[in-house]
Amino acid sequence: MFENSFLKTVFCSLEKKKTYFVIKTRFFTQFDSGIRIGSSNPNTRKAPQQSGAKTHFLGKQVDPFGDPTESTDNPRWANVKSRPFKTVRGRASLSYPLYANHTYPTCFSLSTPPPSPLQMALLSQQLQRFFLTTLNCTSNLKATKKNNSVALKERARCCSAIAIDAPSFSGVAGIRWGLCRLQGPREEMEDEAVVRSDGLDGFSFAAVFDGHAGFSSVKFLRDELYKDCVAALQGGLLLSGKNFNIIREALEKAFESADAKLLNWLETTGEDVESGSTATVLLIGDDMVFISHVGDSCVVLSRSGKAEELTNPHRPYGSNKSSLEEIRRIREAGGWIVNGRICGDIAVSRSFGDMRFKTKKNEMLEKGLEEGRWSQKFVSRVQFTGDLVVASPDVFQVALGSDAEFLLLASDGLWDYMNSSEAVTFVRNELRQHGDVQVASEALARAALDRRTQDNVSIIIADLGRTDWQSLPLQQQNLFLELVQALGTIGIVTLGIWMSSQFSL
């Protein structure tokens, strides 16, 4: 009865060594394959090739180009360019086009039918998480009983339909890298993730850039910031000396130099002149990591399964020490904050680029006056004494002891929807199951999409190679507690609906 109530149809078939899994639920979000044709990225408007690429849904392989009852050369993709951006009763469906250079421009469209009041009760996040977790755990336990090497190859091939293929990295001995970038529901991909092992003797370089108002700043920084860091650190010589004050000054100069070059380049080329980008850099050695951080990405270190946040977001709102310092600095520079945004505009207080808050502050003020955003009386009282947004980094050093398992660096597209403890537990469970750090990074990005992230997602995981993942017990959620909470929510909402109907009679 329970199963019939929630699962409308479950269809499985095997054809030419392809496993299809289609699940339609009465209350859960329904999945359908689609292409966002409105995207300005031409690669996301191409009809997908019948390459047999697959992905995962609830732990099963899904053919994104057709369903099990249709032939593999499905004619519905013949006119994909003329296919409208799908809407369901006035609500636009979400889709996830990939990064521009990806070879399989495929995405999912998520369509949510309008639920009844009782169905709204059943759509509690706890209930969804309970059933999705149950199905995932069941499929994962079955997968571990099979040949691991075969399962890993199959899973990696399936994941390639929704996550970029990370290059092979080499550098500091023992470190294994996982890198994933997903565009999410945004019209443009403005994130970048970089891992490099050349140029810094004994250290590897990893960075995540989160751009805004265009991709130009990110495109400039992904090469120039690395070059400036290598030059300032004398090819890693300063890192080997481990004099933190000297290293901090060198990284501050590197960030300052890169920002000055970027501002000049933006003004000279006129390309996305209002664009900007955050940047969080990791310099990982055998026993030490140096972090240089600007913006709202975050670095988390897993120590024996405990999440240790190594950075604070640079945002002009909040009650923590970092946010209060940012708010005070902005006000002392003559700026103001409206709804957590500097001058009612930008929600990050440190970044590269963003010349309207640095060298073009007065022009920004005049433009706002013309647009009616503020009055002449208000403008006459404003006196800028410094830059409202700065690229001065926070620099840290962290010792990597024997209990250090992995470093996780990700943009706010992940952290706005998942806390550090959840992310560490998720990655540990993935590594415990298959030991593949690349697959773990892809799975974590998909988890952000499952939680309806509205931003690009970029993730870098550095497995430090000090943990035997196969020997660790699998960390599982308390499914019984989840079920009790979900049923409690259903009961309360159902009671409220019933009482409302009684009072309305």
The residue ranges of every structural domain in the chain are 2-150, 172-312+395-471, 315-349+355-388
pLDDT grade, residue 205 (50/70/90)?
A: very high
Query: Is the pLDDT reported for residue 119 higher than 80?
Result: no
pLDDT grade, residue 479 (50/70/90)?
A: low
Contact 220, 236 (CB under 8 A): no
> Domain 172-312+395-471 classified CATH 3.30.2140.20?
no
Query: Is the pLDDT reported for residue 415 higher than 60?
Result: yes
Residue type, 342: I
| Residue 136: its H or E element | helix 125-144
Residue type, 489: T
Strand partners, 202: none
pLDDT grade, residue 482 (50/70/90)?
A: low
**Nearest-angstrom CA–CA distance, 308 and 301:** 5
Instruction: Tally the C-alpha atoms within 13 A of residue 266's C-alpha that lie toward its C-beta.
Output: 29
Residue 384: strand, helix, or coil: coil
Query: Is the pLDDT reported for residue 162 higher than 50?
Result: no
Residue 231: strand, helix, or coil: helix
Dihedral of the alpha carbons of 235, 241, 245, 251, in degrees to the nearest 10 = 10
Burial 327-336 (b: 16+ CB within 10 A, else e): bebbeebbbe
Query: Is the pLDDT reported for residue 115 higher than 60?
Result: no
Where is pLDDT greater, at 479 or 249? 249
In the chain, the N- to C-terminal Cα span, in Å, equals 31
pLDDT at 350: 98
Query: Is the pLDDT reported for residue 67 higher than 50?
Result: no
Residue type, 468: D
Q: What is the pLDDT of residues 82-107, one digit of tens each?
A: 333 333 333 232 333 333 443 333 33
pLDDT at 501: 73
**Range of lowest pLDDT (43-52, 137-146, 406-415, 442-451):** 43-52
**Range of lowest pLDDT (3-17, 131-145, 356-370):** 3-17
**Range of lowest pLDDT (14-23, 273-282, 348-357):** 14-23
DSSP state of 451: T
User: Would the pTM count as exceeding 0.75?
Assistant: no
pLDDT grade, residue 487 (50/70/90)?
A: confident
Contact 26, 97 (CB under 8 A): no
